[in-house]
Amino acid sequence: MPIMYVNTPVGQTVNVRATASTSATIKFTLSRGAQVDATFFNSTWHSITCPQGSGFIMSEFLSSTNPNSGGAGTPTPGKIQGTQVRVRTSPSTSATIIREVNTGDSVTYYDGESYSGNGYTWYRCTSTLWNGNGYIVTNYVVPDTGGGGVIGTALYYRNFAVDYAMQYSSNTPGTASYNPGYRPVYDDNGNVTNDCANFVSQCLYAGGMPMNPTWYYKTPNGVYTDRTAAWKGTVSLKNMLENRKWATRVVKSQVKKGDIAFTYESENSLPHVVFVVRDVGPDGNVYVCGHTANQRDVIRNPGINTIYYHVHDSFQMLSGDWL
């Protein structure tokens, strides 16, 4: 059996169940980083064995690398993309800052080896700029292909993105309106509770935004889901858009169809994101579509603390991006 690791948010556990069902008996729980022998069971579950026993875990909570420590990624030349990017001693925003780096600085990142912490995905990196290992949020590291790595420009077709949003959303609960080609984001009990960024990412991609090493959705061999934190997470999505300079924060009066709106608590706490489907008019109303809670072409509550991002009409593509 392949060795895999439990990959839950920091401080959380995963249930190991008697059968491949969210209603099955919970036999025991495993902590983040626990090593298991895992076998693919179906598109949602793996069967596992470990010192505590055997059972079934939702595949969403397993990864091929230990999220807590060590890994065997491929050393890959990289460049920093961003200003005052913090290099830390461990994959956590509370870890000690080793130093700050900026756009164009060279690093070696370990491709295929990533870590989760505080809502971000991190690379282990080395560089002549510091001693030993450092950890950098993956959004700020791009492959170094020489000459900047620019390979072209992709265009954003707002009407395509809006058409997608309208087709795959509704004002009734449930997943009947969801695109069956994309797996919703489930919690450990099998409930669709956090699908908002997954849906907005689908809309952006339908409009022509390129997938890239930090923002993608794949179904390898058609049997399981591989998607990045930036694809399914609000804060990571915002960071990716800013780092790639594919969207700009604007005031509400500047919002156009094809833009996005985040519910705002702090820069590191964005509980929800929705997709804008009409230009903001003189009445100031913002019409949106979204998942969890489901909404289709409805006026966003003006009482919600919101930040808006205008998605650019074109995107600079780097080596490693794809459409």
State the Cα torsion 301-307-312-316 to the nearest 10°: -140
pLDDT at 41 (0 to 100): 79
Of the options 1.10.10.10, 2.40.40.20, 3.90.1720.10, 1.10.357.10, the CATH number for the domain spanning 155-318: 3.90.1720.10
Average pLDDT of the chain is 87
CB of 198 within 8 A of CB of 186? no
Q: Higher-confidence residue: 9 or 17?
A: 17
With tokens 């609960």, the residue in question is 173
C-alpha separations of 280 from 18, 169, 252, 285 in Å:
51, 20, 7, 6
In eight-state DSSP terms, residue 128 is T
pLDDT at 118 (0 to 100): 64
CATH class of the domain whose range is 74-144: mainly beta
pLDDT band for position 1 (50/70/90)? Answer: low
Mean pLDDT calculated for residue range 189-217: 91
**Do the domains at 3-63 and 74-144 have one common CATH topology?**
yes
- Burial class of residue 269 (count of CB atoms within 10 Å of its CB; 0-12, 13-18, 19+): exposed
Give the CA angle between residues 80, 248, 275 to the nearest 5°.
Answer: 115
Per-residue pLDDT tens over the stretch 72-113:
567 788 888 877 889 998 777 888 899 998 877 889 888 777
pLDDT at 43 (0 to 100): 67
Backbone angles phi, psi at 10, to 5 degrees: -55, 130
Three-state DSSP class for residue 187: coil
* Assessment of whether the complete model's pTM goes beyond 0.95: no
pLDDT at 64 over 60: yes
In eight-state DSSP terms, residue 209 is P
pLDDT at 9 (0 to 100): 64
CA distance 219 to 73: 21
Single-letter amino acid code for the residue at 264: Y
Architecture of domain 3-63: Roll (2.30)
CB of 36 within 8 A of CB of 19? no
Three-state DSSP class for residue 92: coil
Sorted by where each begins, the domain ranges of the chain are 3-63, 74-144, 155-318
CA distance 309 to 248: 5
Encode burial over 60-86: b for 16+ CB neighbours within 10 A, e otherwise. bbbbebbbbeebeeeebebbbbbeebb
pLDDT at 177 over 90: yes
Number of Cβ atoms within 10 Å of the Cβ of 116: 19
pLDDT at 24 (0 to 100): 92
Mean pLDDT calculated for residue range 229-234: 90
Number of Cβ atoms within 10 Å of the Cβ of 312: 16
